[in-house]
Amino acid sequence: MKQEFSAPIFIHSMFRTGSTWLFDRFRRAQDQNYWCYQEPFHEMLIHLKDQPELVLDIHGDISTSLRHPALDKPYFYECYAIREHISDSFQKCISFDSFFDPAVCPAFDEYTAKLIRHAPGRPVLQCCRSYGRLAHLKQQYGGVHIYLWRNPWDQWWSYQINDYFDTASIAITNAHNPPQVVALLREELGFPQVREASFSDEYKQLLQIPVSAQNRYLVFYTLWLYSLIENRSLADCEINVDSLSNDSAALTKTKKRLEELNVTDIDLSSCNIPQFYFGDEDKKFFTAAEQRAHKLFASAGYAIDVLHDAIQLQHMSQPVVRRRYPEIGQGGERARAAALRFANGKAEAQLARAHAERVAVELQHAHEQAEGLLRTEVEETRSQLDKTVADAQTRERALREDSERNLAIIRGEAQRDMEQLSAEHQAVRQVLLEREREYAAQLADQQAKSQKVLEDAQQTHERREARLVGEIQAAHAQSQAREIALREDEQARMDLLRENSRLEVSRLQAEQQVLLERERQLAELLAQNQSVQDELNQAHGAREAELQQEIATVRQMLDHARAEAQARETDLHARSEAYIAQVRADAATHIQIFEGRVAHLHAQESALRAEMAQHAAYAQALLARIGAMQSTWWWRLSMLWRRPSLWSAVSCPAPLLGEFHARIGEFAHTGTVPPQNVQAACVSADSGEHLNLAPLEQKGLAMPIQNITELFSLDGPAFITEAYRNLLQREPDLNGMAYYLGRLSMGYGKARVIVQLAKSAECRPHEQIHGLKRLIQEHNNASHWLWGWFGRHTRMHMALQSSVTALARIEQRMEGVHHAINTQNQQMETLARQHAESLRDIKSLVQQTMGDRAAKNEQPRLPIETVRQVFREILGREPENDDVIHHHAKQGTSEALRESLLDSEEFRVRLEALPEHARMILMRQMQAQRAHQGV
């Protein structure tokens, strides 16, 4: 079973406040078995799950560079030792995202609880990332909380040892749901919101934010003042390392306070925090930024006195060297001025770099646009080229088809011409042949007539035949020449077409070659930018995915918020209805209870009056018996034998008895017994003095008596208690109290009880209590048959006094009953007033949820729910139908509708049905409400 240790110890501080030195002091306290975690919320611990050995590398050289004390073990040794318990719980959101709101990271509480639960010793958590959630840690885990702080000027200059601490401060301002003052700080400095999956990526982006030295100190001082104001009142122990270094009294006080908190064996004597002298220029630098921070706190709603107290504490806690030795550190002042100039130059360089990056992004965007346009132009050119090539091919096919068609036409025409010439030649030959046959026939016929004619005809024929053959040859040659000319013309036209096609194709090929060359150049340019484009595409894809994820998250949040708003509206309406019903039910229940109580009180009053009448009748009977006995002769004869102590009572019985008779008659007639009359009528049997029947605070009050007759002013348990105290000198036991209370209830007198107690062996000597012996003697004489007969007058007188006293007590009880009735009436009035106020508040809430009238110039109409509410409030029911609702909605205001319903016959009938006291209370309440409303 695991050993249980004391409550955990939390050390809350900012960076560079000596927290590592204090952590080392706890780690060296071996006798106390402290288990010390150094910065358990450090982002480096994310490697515990995958590469746990990396957390052990932060040691040695890093400690020296940070000017930390020499540690015997690595910083995160304790976290490494229990890594199997906590490695799965540590998430990125623990360090900075949930810095001000732990609800942002559900793993925060789980991880912290495991640190405490699995610590082999008393857990000590030294945290530089917890001062924004100290209240949550204290409420969730209890324990001892130590707040460590330092003067801001030295602390900020200690930040400048590297870039991490100022960047970590910017990361703190980048947390989710920051307080108002941090949100105003981000708005004033214009910090962008950075959200990455890993802190290393966030750190790289935050490191690139250009921040001047003045703004760096503004960020630090705002967080420093916020931590001081919010955490000093919550911490159990406050440690200022400057005072601890300079003041031995502060050291002693801090040790004593830690021992009071059960934090022992911590050696703080080695505290020696560096402190520097700051000159006028340093003060101007710090003061300007601090004044800006003070304005932010005032704008965030911090009270002026709270800011004044924090600033006063800051000035009072300045180190001694800053106040007493101004001649020290002039070289340091110059070095700091140079460092500030370097920091400002670095910020300007980062700003210029950011500007250049923005310009590069813009140029890249312009390049992408130009590239897109060029791609579009190339695609258009390609499409035009393809269209041109297609057109050229179409034109070439058309030309070829035209050429072939023309050639076919020419060939057809030539063939027709040749055929026509052949036909003509054949026709001519046929004609010639016919003529030749004719001539032959004529020649044959005329051969005999004339040889000379034949020869002439033969010559003519030969000449004519030669001429005809020449003509035929000329026609044939002309036909061949025409065919050749047609062929040459066709060939020329074909050559021209081929040349034009060749030239067109050459031109197109040249244009295509130019386009291909340009495309090749574009391809080379695209190839050169392909890697950059791929990187940009990857970055843009990742960013687009992240934006889409954020948009989906925001949409889910909006849907969830819309659903929650609708649910809240529905729940508000349901709760309003339920609350109205509950108020009515509670009012009805309270009215029934109060009516029952009032009826019970009236019944009790009637019973008391009846009891008082019985006592008055009994007293009248006693008075009659006493008067009859005093008027007899034997009363006067027996007077000499009476004790001298009774003569005074016997000598003047008539006036006393007459007064008793008159007042008892009055009591019997009126049924009331005024306490002052009873006190005036009650006379002591021994001395004749008036008895004091004022009510006593009997419970627990010792009443030492001088005369036994003083006990007769008490009743019940108080009488038994004081009898025991004065006679037996002790408190009554339970059996004795029950026994004597029973005797009193049976009708035994108080004198008999006193005599019975006086006979006890425990009783004090009778001489010590004046009147006790006489009371015992009178009781014994009354018990004797002779003296008892003569003592009837005294006994009746005493019985009469007891009756009057009982009447007085009854009157007091009746006054208590009247007071209770008045109290109940006041409670009923208060309840009725609260009921009316609740109804009025509910009416206001319903009116707010229903909204105002649509337009001021329209005729005012009451909402339907208001009409229903007023009906339920005045008449205790819903309206009959929608027509009744619309009719009464024309009243315009709920006050007018309420007045109309109050004047209705139904309300008067309902009012008359109420009991008288409830009706009076309701009428008073309504009158008060009308007066309040000015009706």
Burial classification of residue 142, based on how many CB atoms lie within 10 Å of its CB (0-12 exposed, 13-18 middle, 19 or more buried): exposed
The Cα–Cα gap between 268 and 488 comes to 123
Percent of the chain with pLDDT over 90: 24
The pLDDT confidence band at residue 808, using thresholds 50, 70 and 90, is: low
Strand residues in 61-151 grouped as ranges (E): 122-127, 144-149
Say whether pLDDT at 855 is over 70: no
pLDDT at 388: 72
The pLDDT of residue 772 is above 80: yes
Task: Give CA angle at 809 (808, 814), nearest 5°.
Answer: 95
Distance CA 642, CA 219 (A): 108
Q: Which tokens belong to 374?
A: 């060029």
Across the strands, what pairs with 192?
none
Predicted confidence (pLDDT) per residue in 245-297, tens digit = 888 899 999 999 999 999 998 989 889 888 877 888 888 999 999 999 999 99
Torsions phi, psi of 282, nearest 5?
Answer: -60, -45
Arithmetic mean of pLDDT, 75-86:
92
Lowest mean pLDDT among 325-329, 587-591, 599-603: 325-329
- Asked if the model's pLDDT at residue 734 lies above 80, the reply is yes
pLDDT of residue 323: 45
Is residue 699 predicted with pLDDT exceeding 50? no
- pTM score, whole prediction: 0.43
Question: Between these two residues, 156 and 651, which has the higher pLDDT value?
Answer: 156
* pLDDT 10s digits, 119-143: 999 999 999 999 999 999 999 999 9
Do 85 and 114 touch, CB atoms closer than 8 A?
yes
pLDDT of residue 802: 62
Q: What is the pLDDT of residue 695?
A: 38
Q: What is the mean pLDDT of residues 733-741?
A: 90
Q: How many CB atoms lie within 10 A of CB 39?
A: 23
Q: Output the pLDDT for position 850.
A: 54
Phi/psi of residue 706, nearest 5 degrees? -105, -25
Residues sharing a CB contact under 8 Å with residue 818, sequence separation 6 or more, in sequence order: 605
pLDDT digits (tens, 9 = 90+) for 395-421: 777 777 776 777 777 767 767 766 776
Mean pLDDT (whole number) for 668-677: 42
Binned at pLDDT 50, 70 and 90, residue 19 comes out as: very high
Residue 872 per-residue DSSP state: H
Average pLDDT over residues 310-338: 67
* Residue 690 DSSP symbol: B
Q: pLDDT tens, 535-566?
A: 777 776 777 777 778 777 777 777 777 777 67
Residue 572 has which token pair? Answer: 């508000």
Provide the pLDDT confidence category of residue 682 given band limits of 50, 70 and 90.
Answer: very low
Distances (CA, A) of 869 to 255, 829, 843, 894: 67, 22, 7, 9
Say which range, 191-205, 645-659, 833-847, has the weakest mean pLDDT: 645-659
Are 307 and 181 spatial neighbours (Cβ–Cβ below 8 Å)? no
Give 638's Cβ-side CA count (13 Å radius): 16
Lowest-confidence pick of 49-58, 226-235, 374-383: 374-383
Q: CA-to-CA distance for 351 and 383, rounded, in angstroms?
A: 47
The distance of Cα 300 from the centroid of its chain, to the nearest Å, equals 18
Calpha distance 537→816 (Å, rounded): 92
Helix (H) or strand (E) holding 239: strand 237-240
List, in sequence order, every residue forming a beta bridge with 145; answer none if it has no partner: 10
Return the pLDDT at 670.
Answer: 45
Secondary structure in 3-state letters for 412-442: HHHHHHHHHHHHHHHHHHHHHHHHHHHHHHH
Is residue 760's pLDDT more than 90? Answer: no
- Give the H/E segment covering residue 237: strand 237-240
Determine the average pLDDT of the residues in 327-336: 58
Please give the backbone phi and psi of residue 124, each rounded to the nearest 5 degrees, phi first: -125, 115
Residue 177: what pLDDT? Answer: 95
> Where residue 494 falls among pLDDT bands split at 50, 70, 90?
confident
- Residue 812 sits at the vertex; the CA angle it makes with 808 and 814, to the nearest 5 degrees, is 115
pLDDT recorded at residue 796: 59
Amino acid, single-letter form, for residue 318: Q
3-state secondary structure 785-814: HHHHHHCHHHHHHHHHHHHHHHHHHHHHHH
In single-letter form, the type of residue at position 435 comes to R
Query: What are φ and ψ of residue 888, in 5° steps?
Result: -75, -20
Name 108's Cβ contacts closer than 8 Å, sequence gap at least 6: 93, 94, 98, 102
Contact indicator for 425, 475 with CB cutoff of 8 Å:
yes
How many CA atoms does the CB half-sphere of 798 hold within 13 Å?
A: 16
Identify the band that residue 769 occupies on the pLDDT scale cut at 50, 70 and 90.
confident
Within 10 angstroms of residue 152's Cβ, the number of other Cβ atoms is: 21
- Burial of residue 883, with CB atoms counted within 10 A of its CB: 0-12 exposed, 13-18 middle, 19 or more buried: exposed
Residue 105: other Cβ atoms inside 10 A: 20
Residue 10: closest CA among 194, 130, 121, 144: 144
Q: Name the average pLDDT for the chain.
A: 76
Position 857 scores a pLDDT of 41
> Amino acid letter at 182?
V
Q: What is the pLDDT averaged over residues 451-474?
A: 71
Measure the CA–CA gap between 308 and 310, rounded to whole angstroms: 6
Q: Which of 350, 66, 364 is nearest to 204 (CA)?
A: 350
CB 509 within 8 A of CB 382: no
Using the predicted structure, report yes or no on whether residue 787 has a pLDDT greater than 80. no
Rg of the chain over Cα atoms, rounded to whole angstroms, equals: 62
Cα angle: 348, vertex 354, 357; to 5 degrees? 145
Decide if pLDDT at 754 tops 50: yes
C-alpha span between 910 and 261 (Å, rounded): 69
- DSSP class of residue 638 equals T
Read off φ and ψ for residue 34, nearest 5 degrees.
Answer: -80, 140
Closest CA to 194 of 180, 208, 181: 208
Collapse the DSSP code of 30 into the 3-class scheme (helix H, G, I; strand E, B; otherwise coil) and give the result: helix
* Burial (CB count <10 Å: 0-12, 13-18, 19+), residue 238: middle
Phi and psi dihedrals of 89, rounded to 5?
Answer: -90, -25
CA–CA separation, 222 and 135 (whole Å): 19
pLDDT of 663 above 50: no
pLDDT at 325: 45
Lowest-confidence pick of 434-438, 885-889, 906-910: 434-438
Q: At 348, which amino acid appears?
A: E
Which of these, 313, 314, 241, 261, lies nearest to 122 by C-alpha position? 261
What pLDDT shows up at residue 732? 93
Tell me the DSSP string of 169-201.
HHHHHTSSS--HHHHHHHHHHTPPP---SSHHH
Residue 575's alpha-carbon distances to 579, 587, 588, 643, in angstroms, are 6, 17, 19, 83
Mean of pLDDT values over 182-206 = 91
